[in-house]
A and B are shown apart, each in its own frame.
Chain A
Amino acid sequence: MTTSDASRYYLPEPSHWPVTGSVALFCMALGGVLMMNGMVTPGAVSLAIGVAVLVYMLFGWFGTVIRESEAGKYNKQVDVSYRWSMSWFIFSEVMFFAGFFGALFYMRVLSVPDLAGLEQKLLWPEFAGGWPTAGPGAQDPFTPMGAWGIPAINTLLLLSSGVTVTWAHWALKQNKRGQLNLGLLLTILLGICFLALQAYEYVHAYSELNLKLTSGAYGATFFMLTGFHGAHVTLGTIMLIVILFRCLAGHFKPDHHFAFEAVSWYWHFVDVVWLLLFILVYWL
């Protein structure tokens, strides 16, 4: 480590973790392409190697960062850098979801009504537009997902988890370790319940509602938006579990715990995305 001026800068040593991650992503991309194009076995091997290397890299890289942090190498300035970077990372995630919400808006407000318009009558005389729809060429009728069953319960679960993670944060700031661990554990359990219900809802959609990824505009936007959100909740839950283990290991101080805050920011972010999903995908 080179700390030229201990009060200001932190410059890490050369590291092999980034290039390890690059190898992992290359193997994963290649494996994914092969699998999607009928070369399932070589593709799966490449994908599995990629995932294994990626997991190895994540453990190694984050492990290094955690050890450095616990060794007190991160000063105030590094802390501020982390805050900026996490904020901008979440902004990039917001824009990613904005793209999919934009697609939903475009279909509901522009392309579906357009397809029911006069100009398309020759091709699709029966199509009346309206939402939800699988489009004018749909052969396979489906039932849309209702808002006030599982999705409403899931809304309550996620909103409660936002409260419990904040409760844990208060505890951390007052150094009440028991309440901190309990709050984190509750947040994780609420997250897992959410994911379990979401999985159940998908099974329900496929087996009873005949609502599939292939169900036209509605199916595509429903599953892609809730699916990417679910993937983010999964990632957030894993992050929370890591933080819980770190708390149990005695990491974090009342005035030095940005990893905890970053994860809680992320958790609130997936919470807000869910509220938009609940209103725009399930309810309206």
Chain B
Amino acid sequence: MEAVHHLDHGHEHHPAGIMRWVTTTNHKDIGTLYLWFSFAMFMVGGVMALVIRAELFQPGLQIVQPEFFNQMTTLHGLIMVFGAIMPAFVGFANWQIPMMIGAPDMAFPRMNNWSFWLLPPAALLLVISLFVPGGAAAAGWTLYPPLTVQMGMGMDLTIFAVHILGMSSIMGSINIVTTVLNLRAPGMTLMKMPLFVWTWLITAYLLIAVMPVLAGAVTMTLTDRHFGTHFFNAAGGGDPVLFQHIFWFFGHPEVYIIILPGFGVVSQIIPAFSRKPLFGYASMVYATASIAILSFIVWAHHMYTVGMPVAGQLFFMFATMLIAVPTGVKVFNWLATMWKGSLTFEAPMLFALGFIFLFTTGGLTGIVLSIVPLDVQVHDTYYVVAHFHYTMVAGALFSAFGAVYFWLPKWTGKMYDEKLGKLHFWLSFIFFNLTFFVQHFLGLAGMPRRIPDYALQFAEFNAISSVGAFGFGLTQLLFFYIVLKCIRSGEKAPARPWEGADTLEWTLPSPAPYHSFETPPVVK
């Protein structure tokens, strides 16, 4: 990774070797750490997904025991959400926000270091939980009681891992909000900020608001487990459903935490490759803020079937449908940006377009799921699994790939292999749909999620899905190769490799200097 940072800057002095990475206070070093950590976790969580798909390749129990299968679904979810997707976008934020607002670094470089270095201990706790008596948490990533109250010590390790991950997120978010609010270059007013910065400002706000609530929820689980409280026990006046309410008060903003920075990335890529300014900038900002605010009042649409007054179901149904309005504003603005643009289709643009198609598909199935009578039919089926993988994989992950290709020249000073990048996109696109499109049919036909066995009638679609999943997994090794090849032997990249890109980071040389803007640029 040394190649990433050329010693082309007078002020650069830091320890060499491993201690550079352990003690670094530099936003680019920390961004790099986040991104590699995220990729490692993506591989770990991916292998777990392949265990799940291998078991589901045929009906019957072939490869793993049901208990282990449940541990895999749980850890796959936790690791992908907290270990892969969120750190990836924090990595982009670390690299890009100071460069995009004309700052030298983040507001709190030491705290920035801690935000990252809290992740490995948390990941280690999760890994250890696999090897303790009773195994890892097996209640699903949503950690519902009463299962979580009954499980072994793997659950305690998971609870503390969640606490530490929460600390990391809160500190990282406070850092981002402060940086954006206080370190902008002169003239960089809020309404001139690149949309990626805007989406991260709002995401960070959401994180600060909901991570403490998750911490409270898992703390209640912990005291119910070991200290005799009755938060989730009806005999004591509590209620297992209480956990679901608290969890989803965190969980629904969390899904926007995952997708909003992806919206930001796409809003940078589409104008750059359409060679037009973003259509409807202000409406994009307001739409992002609206999505964030609405995300606090829709949580119970995850819980239609646990028992709720009809008035409650109606409220959450309509509130949920309302989210389609600002999301629709965003999708139409992206389309309008491309309208009559001079389009080219390099890898970042392909991933952004794939994002628009597939994320919108996931959004549409989301509206379907918001309809109470329909959700009661498909609740906890593969339809839900298909729905959120369209938003998490084809949404968040595709935008993350787009971001990597878009900014890799700026980070490394070298170009990636365009042909291989396009190949990566098309293979990902095809295998993704092979894996998840058929799951809609499985869900509508009634196949429940989180079960290692299924009725014979589901065999064909499951076989297709598993083949797709292994193809998708192997394709990501190609991504690894493309990034390594770019770092080692890519062609030299100009300061502005994309002629349509006009944000501040492209005014810096490639690779960007160690401290981005030592004297603030003036934005007109």
Contact = CB atoms under 8 A, between A and B. Distances in A.
Interface of A: 2, 4-5, 8-9, 11-19, 21-23, 25-26, 29-30, 32-33, 36-37, 61, 77, 80-81, 84-85, 88-89, 91-93, 95-96, 98-100, 102-103, 106-107, 110-112, 114-115, 133-138, 212-214, 216-220, 223-224
Interface string B190-233: 00000000000000000011111101110110010111111101
B213 A106 contact: no
B238 A111 contact: yes
B121 A18 contact: no
Contacts of A111: 234, 237-239, 241-242
B14 A218 contact: no
B156 A220 contact: no
B399 interface: no
B107 interface: yes
B23 A16 contact: yes
Q: Give the most central of A5, A13, A23, A111: most B CB within 10 Å.
A: A111
6 contacts: A9-B105, A36-B156, A92-B212, A103-B242, A136-B235, A138-B237
Contact of A106 (B124, B128, B245): B245
Counting from the closest, the 7 A-B pairs by CB-CB distance are: A137-B235, A217-B237, A99-B216, A135-B237, A18-B114, A214-B228, A216-B236
B111 interface: yes
A18 B119 CA distance: 12
A18 B21 CA distance: 12
Contact of A11 (B105, B118, B152): B105
Nearest to B211: A92
Contacts of A23: 121
A168 B160 CA distance: 39
A11 B107 contact: no
Given A85-B107, A99-B212, A213 B228 contact: yes
Contacts of A103: 216, 220, 231, 242, 246
A100 B242 contact: no
B208 A91 contact: yes
Given A106-B239, A224-B223, A77 B182 contact: yes
Contact of B121 (A22, A216, A217): A22
Interface residues of B, number: 79
Given A111-B242, A136-B237, A213-B228, A8 B520 contact: yes
B507 to A, nearest CB: 17
Nearest to B20: A14
Interface of B: 11, 14-15, 19-20, 22-25, 103-105, 107-111, 113-114, 117-118, 120-121, 124-125, 128, 152-153, 156-157, 160-161, 163-164, 167, 170, 173-175, 177-178, 181-183, 208-213, 215-217, 219-220, 223, 225-231, 233-239, 241-242, 245-246, 249, 515, 518-520
A107 to B, nearest CB: 6
B223 A91 contact: no
B287 to A, nearest CB: 23
B464 to A, nearest CB: 41
Contacts of B209: 91-92, 95
A84 B245 contact: no
Contact of A217 (B157, B216, B236): B236
A137 B236 contact: yes
B234 A93 contact: no
B229 A219 contact: yes
B237 A84 contact: no
Contacts of A138: 235-237
Given A29-B164, A92-B209, A219-B230, 11 more contacts: A4-B11, A12-B110, A19-B113, A22-B121, A98-B212, A102-B245, A102-B246, A103-B220, A103-B231, A217-B236, A220-B230
Contacts of A114: 239
A37 to B, nearest CB: 4
B369 to A, nearest CB: 24
Given A4-B104, A220-B230, A13 B125 contact: no
A99 B209 CA distance: 11
A220 B209 CA distance: 24
A220 B221 CA distance: 12
A1 B125 CA distance: 35
B117 A19 contact: yes
Nearest to B224: A220
A88 B213 contact: no
B203 to A, nearest CB: 13
Contacts of A13: 25
A126 to B, nearest CB: 13
Q: Give the most central of A37, A110, A213, A224: most B CB within 10 Å.
A: A37
Q: Give the most central of A29, A136, A223: most B CB within 10 Å.
A: A29
Contacts of A112: 237
B121 A29 contact: yes
Given A81-B108, A88-B178, A99 B213 contact: yes
A43 to B, nearest CB: 11
Contacts of B104: 4, 9, 11
A33 B212 contact: no
B114 A22 contact: yes
A88 B105 contact: no
A18 B110 contact: yes
A217 B238 contact: yes
A99 B217 contact: yes
B149 to A, nearest CB: 13
A37 B225 CA distance: 11
A33 B242 contact: no
Contacts of A98: 212-213
Nearest to A218: B237
B443 to A, nearest CB: 31
A216 B239 contact: no
Contacts of A217: 230-231, 236-238
Given A61-B110, A84-B178, A106-B245, A95 B210 contact: yes
A33 B519 contact: no
A138 B230 CA distance: 11
Given A14-B20, A14-B23, A5 B212 contact: no
B320 to A, nearest CB: 20
Contacts of A26: 121, 124-125, 164
B249 A102 contact: yes
Given A29-B160, A29-B164, A99-B216, A224 B229 contact: yes
B25 A11 contact: yes
A16 B163 CA distance: 22
A127 B520 CA distance: 68
B23 A15 contact: yes
A218 to B, nearest CB: 7
Given A19-B113, A99-B217, A220-B229, A14 B237 contact: no
A155 B482 CA distance: 63
A16 B213 contact: no
Contacts of A4: 11, 104, 515, 518-519
